[in-house]
């Protein structure tokens, strides 16, 4: 498993969850397996709504399929992150760390493309990465506040 960045950082967003780090880690880093839908799906995959996702493998590397699109999910529990990687260019990571007011949750989007095409990603398929990353963080913060019965808010970015 990779403990380094999987590619060039495109954007990062931070949020604060007013709950102990162990509770937040448990929720963010959880990767259940099976045929899952909605809130059953790993948080790193975002909103599944009525779509099904199939997750297998573990305990640190999983494979997933969302609407036929294959993804790899990696978890580094010691470092406090989980990431989903798919298609040919994209990786989204959630990092959990201690904070004086609770737990800091960071969402990062990486460009995993290599060679000359890597420079084109932000101008083509990655155009919405900043808004999409912020939206992913907001959804996770909302879900954590609901699950853990605590306050959660984005920090300015």
Q: Of how many residues is the chain composed?
A: 157
In which element (H, E) is residue 28 found? helix 21-28
Give the predicted TM-score (pTM) of the model: 0.89
What pLDDT, on the 0 to 100 scale, is given for residue 126? Answer: 63
Task: Name the pLDDT band for 50 (thresholds 50, 70, 90).
Answer: confident
Q: Which residue has the higher pLDDT, 91 or 116?
A: 91
φ, ψ dihedrals at 27, nearest 5° = -80, -45
Residues 97-119 pLDDT 10s: 999 999 999 999 888 777 777 77
Task: Name the pLDDT band for 157 (thresholds 50, 70, 90).
Answer: low
Residues 1-35 pLDDT 10s: 445 888 888 889 999 999 999 999 999 999 999 99
Task: Name the pLDDT band for 151 (thresholds 50, 70, 90).
Answer: very high
pLDDT above 70: percentage of residues in the chain = 90
Q: Which residue has the higher pLDDT, 89 or 137?
A: 137
Where do we find the tokens 């036929």?
68
The beta-strand segments (E) located in 18-135 are: 34-37, 52-57, 61-66, 69-76, 81-86, 90-99, 102-111
* Residue 109 CB-density burial (10 A; 0-12 exposed, 13-18 middle, 19+ buried): buried
């Amino acid at each position: 498993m990779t403990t380094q960045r999987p590619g060039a950082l495109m954007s990062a967003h931070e949020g604060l969850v007013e709950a102990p780090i162990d509770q937040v880690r448990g929720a963010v880093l959880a990767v259940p397996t099976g045929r899952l839908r909605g809130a059953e799906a790993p948080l790193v995959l975002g909103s599944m709504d009525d779509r099904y996702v199939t997750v297998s493998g573990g305990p640190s590397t999983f494979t997933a399929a969302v609407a036929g699109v294959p993804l790899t999910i990696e978890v580094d529990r010691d470092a406090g992150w989980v990431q989903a990687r798919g298609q040919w260019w994209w990786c989204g990571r959630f990092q959990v760390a201690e904070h004086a007011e609770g737990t800091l949750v960071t969402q990062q989007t990486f460009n995993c493309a290599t060679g000359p095409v890597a420079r084109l990603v932000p101008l083509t398929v990655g155009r919405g990465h900043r808004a999409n990353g912020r939206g992913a963080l907001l959804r996770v913060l909302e879900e954590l506040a609901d699950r853990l019965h605590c306050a959660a808010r984005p920090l300015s970015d």
